[in-house]
Structure 1
């Protein structure tokens, strides 16, 4: 093909119509905004003939293929080309404006029929095509456009013929726009959003802008129309939610102002929408209007004059089975899960999402930071390593200015009427330069009613004096640690936003509650957006029909970033991660605190009175059994207010008494069923500590030496202590062996995604777990001493944990008291090597026979919990099977531990083994060894170990968010150099 617009930075489109606000018109007598069953819309979605060419140079419009491809779709999802996941680096050489000569191209063809009339025009719309497209109609070139996630519209009226027409679209994988679309995502190609014809009258409203302002008891709704100076008569009616007209007017001018008395305002908690009906002689446009303001007063972010907090997430249009294609059902499912987990804000990372998504956010109530299709940090590594001097080269290069400005203009113009959009974002991680300033000017000219965001503050060295960050309205940061975050919150002069934080990759994020505590502590802290909403992965099936999720590197691509795309709060199929449950409770609508016997509630909502939003219920449990419950109905509490709860509790006495408040959805909401739990607070009201007496037995217990240790026998048990291992290697109850293999000391864990650097996976650091050889630790024992009495045997075994070429990690004075009942009392005095910053864990792991499948525990549950990740868990007695305790992360890693445990039992048909301690410990029970988890790269590769692995840990270091953010903070690391670990091991026969 001779066309070369895709390698010309001065041409970002050819023959497209002027940008306009997104809407779907209908006939004057109709009332629809739908593309379906709309006589003014010819939807061209469906099966298109498709020919794939490995190179655009080979592509032809002449060939007719028997292959078909659904539109919308990405061709990689159907076996053409291959998937590639890249985070930062460009997947092509950095050689703008040129792209590889081997530039895959897909040629799409289909026919459609129209009936031509003099009164009507036909406008062809593409809502999303990656990366660019050339359009032909009946063999004639119509136009060209790039910017993958923005609409391109063409007037094809002069090229149509009455009756059947053939459209052909050539889609290229790469274009010069690729240098501006280096987003963290799978790189896919094709027509991935709707394609349709709009049939429009010769004279019509092309574009309109709706803005609202508030007065004392009224609102002004201002319209600005672009109908190309035709003096078109425009009639506007505004209806309330009940369909009553509250304002109306008519004009031939470019502007119209209407007044609504006593307006109901839009906000994310109460998303009230009015309906606009815009009529011209031959057409009707229906849209929704939300009356709201967004502003900053000093460093406080305000909506409708009220301070608000963003409890947000970053979201891609990404699905495991449809790629970039986002159906209404898929989008509603995302929003439903968000609402039910207290998420109120979305950053569209890092491009405009599907147009309908914003209408759903209007309807259901979400604040949106709407981001331009702009990310160019691939230049960062374009000279062999990540060199900050090259980070901002694209925004510094004037030849990119046309394209960069075009992208923000398309963003703002398309979504300008959406009330959910409260902040425009220029893009992501592209640095600052003269092109940034031009983009800012373009946005300001189009819309001054919203705030402006851009996080990236890196610039070329020669631009040192050019930038005044007053051009932006908010202070935005990514992944700061807690100490730096608090300093920002104390010093910021603008509303502070963490546009990305709490990297939710794998088992994480840790310390989310600490960040939320800072959100609420500082008025100028407007909140943050967790990275990110969903795991990106490609769904495939093995020969047996089992689902497999694949990530970077699984498709034979050389350049990729592995599983770094698997970093969401939900799995690809939208099953929540435990991190989402953590976020849910951090963002709960009510916080209850305790001062003595008084409990006070604080309404964390920004607009709704508590009595309208939630019902507060409470329950009192002792040892996991409910002993009292009640509710606090119609508790009036204004937004941000705090007041004592009217609560009367029964007398409380004993151990493990916990009071739990739960907040149930009260208001009717289309996405949240009434009665849905929105969070909880829990308080320990125990008047005494829990204690467990060892089973009384006066049975004799004996010890006899064996070639490898000591055999300890009682009436119902026989245990063998291995003096070389410092632990038991056999544990028989009534002659039945409970152990599959010897117990072991354990100071390591299967690295989580957040451990990848410190564990030595992402980089081999001097003090990584791998370089320290923590993963290879084993026991080196010294002289074992055995003492006997009539009813007990005491085994004292001093030992060290060592590894080849390493100095001892710790010295342990281990003492085991075995009683005639079969109970074992374990006491370990541990001294950790002084130069070790911390240990991943310290404890024992017991390899039980695989039939130990039933687990009961009193601790944090029901989901996994860690020292820095248990805000979404509560203390109770829980029952589960061992498989149920496993969290099946796509990339296998440490999972399923439970912190704050006081007792834990595992049982099979014959025996129950109980671990108990007066000091809370952590436990994990799994069908997989940590070695297996560490060795495999995919969930579907895991092989069960043929046993039940039971970890009983003195402590486990927290999980942090170090995959892209701060490591586990000091207080949640196992940094102690001297400690004592005591617990009891109590067997019981099952009758």
Structure 2
């Protein structure tokens, strides 16, 4: 039975040494047949000022509720107050949410602190009441909350708790045991917005509050397992497993024993034993032969049943756990799993839902895991707090490696704007008053999650600088678990504490800096715990990081992050409908705006275009087709390529003409060429482009993918014997030309083109009287800024290019009649920089128009965002078909996930829904493109020389997109005045090292001193 709770005090809220009062010791997470009663569902909630409640007065909470009955709302539990309870959502990254409104010194909190008073009436289920009467224990459990709770049951104070990301349990047996099943009990919970814990929970996220995980009652029998610890070791040399079970058994009468039974995945018995109970029962197996090990590639689980048998021979409780046999550790400075060097192809994951906030259900968790598996992501860092315990079960089952991170981030306590560190203000640092709370957060996570085979690494927290507190945490972690490594990146700011982390972990370090570490005979394995900031149109240059896998000490990284944190905002008069909102959209100030949206998944859990890049570069296999076969490199740890079909196909000018499936058996860590009988001679011709394609697909259906799911692909284009000829270059159409004083015209049948001497280009291009252009094509040297562009001040650094093309003026025009057409040459002068640009139209007698825009190059200027043209077309031209790299948008530094082929795209598909409108919809490597209406009428663009161009077709101009900060600020696509075709000779990459200053890598920039030419042939469809 618990000791009586002391009189509650409001001072606990601001005392970091008080973080739990009367809380039950942390237990392992395990399934039990003990009776359980859910208290989820509708709860009454009152939002009020924290000063309205006197927690020391047991009558105060109920009195406040009665006096404000007209303001009580009903909300579901679990849920967050920001998504269901009327609290305003607020997003901040580093700064504290009260900064500028109040300036409390830690551990104090603002005077404007709020509290949500929750109230729930319940009757006790019969089986729980029986357990209480029979000497059992009834635990009240709060699965997740923020930020601090005071709890009363039937007017009696139960306890106080902080750290809401591991369950807080309270023994309330004495309050319930004497009551009948008809007795109505009242549970009141005061959930405070801020407490001293707020200083430890400054994670880059929406600041959610409330009871966001489930609330329940569990009735444990008098003799029961309180906690259990399992070590399931695997010897990869002998394939022998060994099981060590340490159970903490509560046995008030004495004489109990434990029977353990282990079953394999087909329910066949593998091992069993029974041992008398001791203070902490130890059950150790001999070697278990022929054990199938656990890994993300093959997540084999065994079922362990523990029966607690009392002294009379009765089974009091049965506990069930999944067991995965594996051996993970650091050997000679390299992390290994079951004897093989591991590489984490990871992502950081916040628990987030755009409608439910932090209150995820199992379907949401499973959707995230399936996305990861489908995209070759093998690892998740639980940034930056322990996740819902069900999530770890799914990681065990589906095969995801986990860095389990304690609920700790204090970035705002030691950083000034501009990433200026202030070590003296860092919390916890070496401040002893914070040490117990921090160690407790780590210890509770470890006790809860110890038995999960998916958990490979313990992390002490995130971005909280260094200090003796972290040394104490690291020491405690190794005491509790000598096997798993300890991770903490914050020591990179204070190398005095280098011993705290077993891993050299850094965030947002560029590839060249990582390579310097790897080439310096490192003592520790290296990971990037955060890299590739996936904010908006990003993840460019990922291959520069995955290429580092050639270094043994490089063991991967974790992309930031999995999902955009954007919340659905109710419709406003301006938006006309609900929309995905970011920081500041709810009136929250201070805020950090769209910095919350950094995901490979959009907030609605649809994949962003960058997901294809991640899938391809994170694959354990790489395929390089050649004329003799397919070069297969197998970087997996345990899986042969024979587990997949190798599908080979042949494309001719983008069309698939041949396909075959071949077998392969490339072992883990090996590389080999698999023969393939490509029928190249049968399809070759001087002007045909032949592309060899190889694809590795699943032979069988799995729990997370169908049979035939593609793991990765490879393409190789064979060199052309001759460049392709522009469409119809040899066909005369009896074109007639008119060279007037003001305009030059061409007419061929029902087609007409008119070029203006004064307007500087083609003002009319019509078919049977219907115009195909609205305005002359405009030179463009600008793209709408991406989030990465804005973070690197590209708008400032490249301001000249914003106006150079848009406001270019035509300074000269010349007309020359030739044998088979008329050439009209315009000389433009780019605004602000004065560079001459040549724009030439050649009106051919086959009805085509050759268009050439030439930038000559100029020194001493910023690199170009892009060079080409933007063209306003009729709004009916709403479909893009192209032969190039697709299907999604691609950029010069994000090409690996795209493949060469013929693709069809709608305007909505290419208007990528980044939270803030920005550059999107670009397609690299185009040989031809068509913009058409639903009937197939429109414009065809073909490379004149065989050099590919870039193309996009969007409902908005670049200028419109640049000016908008929400999509609803742009015109309704259905009522847009034009469709905008953009053709580019070159465009810079999108970058991704970070979103606050890093430049796109030099090899992906467009140098201003180099010449760039867009040379295409235009014709009508």
2:187 match: 167
| Closer/same/farther in 2, CA of residues 371 and 910 from structure 1, 3 Å limit | closer
Aligned counterpart for 2:143 among listed residues 104, 111, 127: 127
Aligned counterpart for 1:953 among listed residues 981, 984, 997: 984
State how far apart, in whole Å, the 1-side matches of 2:717 and 2:419 are. Answer: 53
State how far apart, in whole Å, the 2-side matches of 1:838 and 1:94 are. Answer: 46
Aligned counterpart for 1:189 among listed residues 205, 209, 221: 209
1:371 match: 405
2:42 match: 47
State how far apart, in whole Å, the 2-side matches of 1:901 and 1:384 are. Answer: 41
State how far apart, in whole Å, the 1-side matches of 2:349 and 2:553 are. Answer: 24
| Closer/same/farther in 2, CA of residues 886 and 426 from structure 1, 3 Å limit | same
1:631 match: 661
2:244 match: 222
What is the DSSP-based 3-state SS (H/G/I as helix, E as strand, rest coil) of the residue aligned with 2:297?
A: coil
Q: Give matches, 1:841-880, under 5 Å.
A: 841-880=866-905
Q: Deviations over 1:818-863 (max 9, x none)?
A: 1123322223332233122311110011111111123221100111
Q: Give matches, 1:325-336, under 5 Å.
A: 325-336=359-370
Q: Is the 8 A contact 1:590 1:603 kept in 2?
A: yes
Aligned counterpart for 1:497 among listed residues 510, 513, 527: 527
What is the DSSP-based 3-state SS (H/G/I as helix, E as strand, rest coil) of the residue aligned with 1:206?
A: strand
State how far apart, in whole Å, the 2-side matches of 1:552 and 1:377 are. Answer: 18
Q: Give matches, 1:346-425, under 5 Å.
A: 346-381=380-415, 386-390=420-424, 392-425=426-459
Deviation at 1:304, TM superposition (A): 0.8
1:539 match: 568
What is the DSSP-based 3-state SS (H/G/I as helix, E as strand, rest coil) of the residue aligned with 1:363?
A: helix
Q: Is the 8 A contact 1:135 1:141 kept in 2?
A: yes
| Closer/same/farther in 2, CA of residues 10 and 771 from structure 1, 3 Å limit | farther
Deviation at 1:776, TM superposition (A): 7.0
| Closer/same/farther in 2, CA of residues 126 and 860 from structure 1, 3 Å limit | same
1:530 match: 559
State how far apart, in whole Å, the 1-side matches of 2:153 and 2:966 are. Answer: 46
| Closer/same/farther in 2, CA of residues 759 and 776 from structure 1, 3 Å limit | farther
Deviation at 1:309, TM superposition (A): 1.4
Deviation at 1:624, TM superposition (A): 1.9
Q: Is the 8 A contact 2:346 2:379 kept in 1?
A: yes
> Are 1:779 and 2:802 matched, yes or no?
no
Q: Is the 8 A contact 2:735 2:746 kept in 1?
A: no
2:62 match: 61
State how far apart, in whole Å, the 2-side matches of 1:505 and 1:118 are. Answer: 57
Q: Is the 8 A contact 2:629 2:673 kept in 1?
A: yes
Q: Is the 8 A contact 1:703 1:793 kept in 2?
A: no
1:705 match: 740
Q: Is the 8 A contact 2:762 2:775 kept in 1?
A: no
Deviation at 1:133, TM superposition (A): 0.4
Deviation at 1:111, TM superposition (A): 2.0
2:340 match: 306
Aligned length: 959
Aligned counterpart for 1:591 among listed residues 611, 615, 622: 622
What is the DSSP-based 3-state SS (H/G/I as helix, E as strand, rest coil) of the residue aligned with 1:144?
A: strand
Aligned counterpart for 1:295 among listed residues 329, 332, 354: 329
> Are 1:487 and 2:487 matched, yes or no?
no
1:691 match: 724
| Closer/same/farther in 2, CA of residues 620 and 385 from structure 1, 3 Å limit | closer
| Closer/same/farther in 2, CA of residues 878 and 18 from structure 1, 3 Å limit | same
Q: Is the 8 A contact 1:702 1:714 kept in 2?
A: no
2:603 match: 572
Q: Is the 8 A contact 1:408 1:426 kept in 2?
A: yes
What is the DSSP-based 3-state SS (H/G/I as helix, E as strand, rest coil) of the residue aligned with 1:857?
A: strand
State how far apart, in whole Å, the 2-side matches of 1:801 and 1:498 are. Answer: 43
1:616 match: 646
| Closer/same/farther in 2, CA of residues 771 and 100 from structure 1, 3 Å limit | farther
> Are 1:140 and 2:156 matched, yes or no?
yes
What is the DSSP-based 3-state SS (H/G/I as helix, E as strand, rest coil) of the residue aligned with 2:478?
A: helix
State how far apart, in whole Å, the 2-side matches of 1:692 and 1:245 are. Answer: 71
State how far apart, in whole Å, the 2-side matches of 1:598 and 1:636 are. Answer: 14
1:95 match: 105
Deviation at 1:688, TM superposition (A): 2.5
State how far apart, in whole Å, the 1-side matches of 2:635 and 2:696 are. Answer: 12
Q: Is the 8 A contact 1:701 1:791 kept in 2?
A: no
State how far apart, in whole Å, the 2-side matches of 1:451 and 1:703 are. Answer: 80
Q: Is the 8 A contact 1:501 1:965 kept in 2?
A: no
Aligned counterpart for 1:518 among listed residues 548, 558, 562: 548
> Are 1:180 and 2:200 matched, yes or no?
yes
What is the DSSP-based 3-state SS (H/G/I as helix, E as strand, rest coil) of the residue aligned with 1:896?
A: coil
State how far apart, in whole Å, the 1-side matches of 2:581 and 2:749 are. Answer: 54
Q: Is the 8 A contact 1:868 1:958 kept in 2?
A: yes
Q: Deviations over 1:652-692 (max 9, x none)?
A: 31322111111111244211111112221111124424412
State how far apart, in whole Å, the 2-side matches of 1:679 and 1:723 are. Answer: 52
State how far apart, in whole Å, the 2-side matches of 1:239 and 1:72 are. Answer: 35
State how far apart, in whole Å, the 2-side matches of 1:85 and 1:811 are. Answer: 47
> Are 1:983 and 2:1015 matched, yes or no?
yes
Deviation at 1:79, TM superposition (A): 4.6
Q: Give matches, 1:206-285, under 5 Å.
A: 206-215=226-235, 216-227=238-249, 232-251=256-275, 252-253=277-278, 254=280, 255-259=282-286, 260-281=288-309, 282-285=316-319
1:8 match: 15
Bigger drift between 338-347 and 812-821 goes to 812-821
1:915 match: 941
State how far apart, in whole Å, the 1-side matches of 2:908 and 2:239 are. Answer: 60
Bigger drift between 936-945 and 296-305 goes to 936-945
Deviation at 1:178, TM superposition (A): 0.5
Deviation at 1:166, TM superposition (A): 1.4
What is the DSSP-based 3-state SS (H/G/I as helix, E as strand, rest coil) of the residue aligned with 1:500?
A: strand
> Are 1:932 and 2:960 matched, yes or no?
yes
1:32 match: none
> Are 1:679 and 2:712 matched, yes or no?
yes
What is the DSSP-based 3-state SS (H/G/I as helix, E as strand, rest coil) of the residue aligned with 1:858?
A: strand
> Are 1:429 and 2:463 matched, yes or no?
yes
2:312 match: none
Unaligned stretches of 5+ residues in structure 2: 1-7, 55-60, 310-315
| Closer/same/farther in 2, CA of residues 982 and 777 from structure 1, 3 Å limit | closer
> Are 1:969 and 2:1004 matched, yes or no?
no
State how far apart, in whole Å, the 1-side matches of 2:199 and 2:74 are. Answer: 30
What is the DSSP-based 3-state SS (H/G/I as helix, E as strand, rest coil) of the residue aligned with 2:164?
A: coil
> Could you say what the CA RMSD is over the residues aligned between the two structures, in angstroms?
2.2
Deviation at 1:713, TM superposition (A): 4.8
What is the DSSP-based 3-state SS (H/G/I as helix, E as strand, rest coil) of the residue aligned with 1:205?
A: strand
What is the DSSP-based 3-state SS (H/G/I as helix, E as strand, rest coil) of the residue aligned with 2:364?
A: helix
State how far apart, in whole Å, the 1-side matches of 2:23 and 2:632 are. Answer: 56
State how far apart, in whole Å, the 2-side matches of 1:701 and 1:489 are. Answer: 68
Q: Is the 8 A contact 2:863 2:1008 kept in 1?
A: yes
2:689 match: 656
State how far apart, in whole Å, the 2-side matches of 1:788 and 1:642 are. Answer: 60
What is the DSSP-based 3-state SS (H/G/I as helix, E as strand, rest coil) of the residue aligned with 1:242?
A: coil
Q: Is the 8 A contact 1:904 1:915 kept in 2?
A: yes
Deviation at 1:598, TM superposition (A): 4.4
Aligned counterpart for 1:807 among listed residues 807, 825, 833: 833
State how far apart, in whole Å, the 2-side matches of 1:738 and 1:668 are. Answer: 49
| Closer/same/farther in 2, CA of residues 186 and 695 from structure 1, 3 Å limit | farther
1:840 match: 865
Deviation at 1:706, TM superposition (A): 4.5
> Are 1:80 and 2:112 matched, yes or no?
no
- Normalising by structure 2, we get a TM-score of 0.90
